[in-house]
Amino acid sequence: MATNLSQSTGDNRILVLAEKPDAARKIAQALSKEGRIPYGDHGVIDLPDSYDGHHYLICSAVGHLYELVDSHQRRDLFPVMDIEWSSRGSQSARRFGKTSYSSMGKITRDRIAQIARAAVQCSKLINACDYDTEGETIGFNSLVFAFSHMNKRPEILRAKFSTLTVEEIRDSFRKLKSSDLSFASAGRMRHLADFLWGVNLSRALTIDSNYGKTHGSFRNITIGRVQGPTLAFIVDRELARLSHVPIPSWTITCDLMKSGIKIITRFANSPIKKQSVALDIHRAVSVAKEAIVKRVGKDILSIPPRYPFDLGELQRESYRLFKQSPKATLSIAQKLYQDALISYPRTDSQKLPERIGIANIFKKLSSFGKYSSLVSQLLSDPKTRTRPREGPQEDSAHPAIFPTGEHPKVELTLIEAKVYDLIVRRFCNAFASNEIVENLRIVFDINLYDFVSSGSVVLEKGWSAYYPFGKNFESSLNVPIVEGEKVPVVSVSIAESYNPQPSRFTEGSLLAQMESEKIGTKATRAETISTLLNREYVHKDRLELLPTGLGTSLVENARVLSPEIVTTGMTRALEERLEKIRSGAESDVEFVAQMVSDFRTVMANMLDKTIEIESENVARTQPRVRPNVQLRSELGSCPSCKTGKLELIRSPKTKKRFIRCSNSAKGCKASSPALPLGQIMPVGERCNQCSWPLVNVSRFNRMSLAKTCSNFSCSSRAVQND
């Protein structure tokens, strides 16, 4: 139920909490009479005379001000079940005293002090953080802890908005609602689950991996409930590639000529799986002089517009078109949101409800030089929809991503402008008419064998006029042809092919896989991929994601100790139950009881397995490798024979590593010793001196990557060593 501030507050001050300083400024601008924002003491914006006559004190968090910490402060101890909320970045201060605050700890401490000082002066609180689970958690924790030292516990109200435009912020302050505790509860439970699984599993795997002994230094082997299955997708795909055995098949194509236009036809039952059959058909067709048109089939397709953008689709399109990583796209979208140019981007919704003010958005966009002709074309088209085409996905908090129609106050960077353009065009596309496409399929009889040619023509342009980034339906089969007609055969060819290895994941396809497996959330998926890259479990070769030796052995060890860590079932079930808390269908007490029970089972399995393995009484059937074993062995093509590949190999006998050409059995002499430990990863460049591939070598510290030539006897290495 909406609450009107003027009904109850008199002239008391009201504390408003925004999620970030930028958002606080936008809110202050919207609430002030003249759009000016005077700074009060200690970063709190004091608005004594706002547009609605209330006295607002506006302050901001800096993301999460509180985090869960292990109260024992012992990194070698697990399982840890004794957890408490503490101010972010205060771990070192808790251990070594107040002078040891990290820089994040200092910022957080100052912010908390500001909020507490402002809270003393206020009788009402308004949570104006982003309206989602995380925003609700930030607001709830900050405001509740800020009042923890006071006797009074004031009411927390919620300002809900999806854009940072003046109208929507003012409207949300007119229709304040009671804070929805189920959102905050789901957020707090998510943090608890992430901590319980992430910290304990990471500690268990760090101890198990024995990284220090094999690499000469300590390293945290970290894993989380979403990270584990995501890493397993990449490792499993690589293993499928490494074990791939191709199967042969044959395709026969026949080129025909009609009125000077070449028609390419293909044997109807392609690909052919048997060589003798393929050769028989090829032989029979080769002697044919003409093809007879057996059937001409036409289909008219009406293809509807694409759904409005949810975050995942925006990230995938941005990756497909601009090669922007999901994390980079989210960060651009967040910036556009903070500049009030688009709506809140962290949404699953594919709906554009009437309440967003569609007519007003079009009006504003039409005054935008770049889009005026596009919008006027859309609005003047009689086939334009009155309601947008929407997808099935819904989000209780926000609509799909849409442009607000506001003009940028500062010039956008090139990539920001591209992403903004994509969002505007996708919004317009949802209102456009269907694309009418004619599919043409012609079946030819060539010496009693059926050959087909197909193509399509766009009869009526619809949404592609506004969103020209979709599939191109136009193809060249624009030949007038009738059944029974004879068409001369120009040439016949046969091609043998083999099915390729499954393609590696890119950041875009990995994000799609995480979405289809329902692991992670819209806000965290991009961050998870980025974490796997930062922790060197995965590396990027151009756009493809490859597991490193460390990442591979992490998945292998996890599978031996407790397979649940790297499978999707456990984390998907957890996500579903968090959703139930959010909707109020499950209590947080039930959730914690079930989660702790699951967690205890996994931990018990891990300990049992460890004891079983360490006792060495059981014949091992599973791989158990240390992080120094590299799965990926190929470094690049051989500069000596040009046809082979240089491979990093560990001798089964001596256990030493060396580099050798894959053509060594055929006489190629290219070989070189390699460092016995550490990660050796190709960087995709060649040495100027000897043309061997350059590699990144990390040995003792994950931060110290050294780019060097893979050839031990190269003169460039001698210079480095000097």
Nearer to another protein, 390 or 634 (CB): 634
CB of 621 to another protein, least distance (A): 6
CA–centroid distance for 717 within its chain: 39
DSSP-assigned letter for residue 129: S
CA–centroid distance for 706 within its chain: 29
Nearer to another protein, 248 or 408 (CB): 248
CB of 570 to another protein, least distance (A): 23
10 Å CB burial of residue 370 (0-12, 13-18, 19+) is exposed
Residue 476 contacts residue 458 (beta carbons within 8 Å): no
Angle, CA of 120, 121 and 125, to the nearest 5° = 80
Nearer to another protein, 369 or 652 (CB): 652
3 closest CA partner among 140, 130, 174: 174
CB of 619 to another protein, least distance (A): 6
CB proximity list for 170: less than 8 A, separation 6 or greater: 30, 31, 51, 52
CB of 246 to another protein, least distance (A): 4
CB of 598 to another protein, least distance (A): 27
CA-to-CA distance for 544 and 470, rounded, in angstroms? 23
162 closest CA partner among 362, 342, 394, 425: 342
Instruction: Specify the 3-state DSSP secondary structure of 227.
Output: helix
Which residues does residue 496 pair with via DSSP β-bridges, in sequence order?
250
Q: What is the DSSP string of 597-619?
A: HHHHHHHHHHHHHHHHHHHT-S-
Binding residues for another protein, per CB under 8 A? Answer: 239-249, 273-276, 498-501, 616-617, 619-625, 629, 633-634, 647, 650, 652, 655, 665
Q: In this structure, which amino acid lies at residue 174?
A: R
CB of 242 to another protein, least distance (A): 4
Nearer to another protein, 568 or 662 (CB): 662
Q: How many residues does the chain have?
A: 722
10 Å CB burial of residue 480 (0-12, 13-18, 19+) is exposed
Nearer to another protein, 380 or 617 (CB): 617
CB of 216 to another protein, least distance (A): 19
Nearer to another protein, 177 or 273 (CB): 273
CB of 240 to another protein, least distance (A): 8
Nearer to another protein, 274 or 320 (CB): 274
Nearer to another protein, 623 or 684 (CB): 623
Which residues does residue 303 pair with via DSSP β-bridges, in sequence order?
435
Nearer to another protein, 623 or 673 (CB): 623
CA neighbours closer than 13 Å in the CB half-sphere of residue 137: 19
Reading the block at residue 35, the tokens are 């759009």
Classify the C-alpha dihedral 599-605-610-611 as positive or negative: positive
Reading the block at residue 59, the tokens are 């302050």
Instruction: Specify the 3-state DSSP secondary structure of 256.
Output: strand
Nearer to another protein, 1 or 665 (CB): 665
Nearer to another protein, 213 or 471 (CB): 213
CB of 613 to another protein, least distance (A): 11
CB atoms near residue 6 (< 10 Å): 10
CB of 547 to another protein, least distance (A): 13
CA-to-CA distance for 13 and 56, rounded, in angstroms? 6
Nearer to another protein, 72 or 656 (CB): 656
> Rounded to the nearest 10 degrees, what angle do helices 21-31 and 166-174 cross at?
80
CB proximity list for 221: less than 8 A, separation 6 or greater: 202, 205, 206, 209, 211, 550, 554, 627
CB of 569 to another protein, least distance (A): 22
CB of 299 to another protein, least distance (A): 34
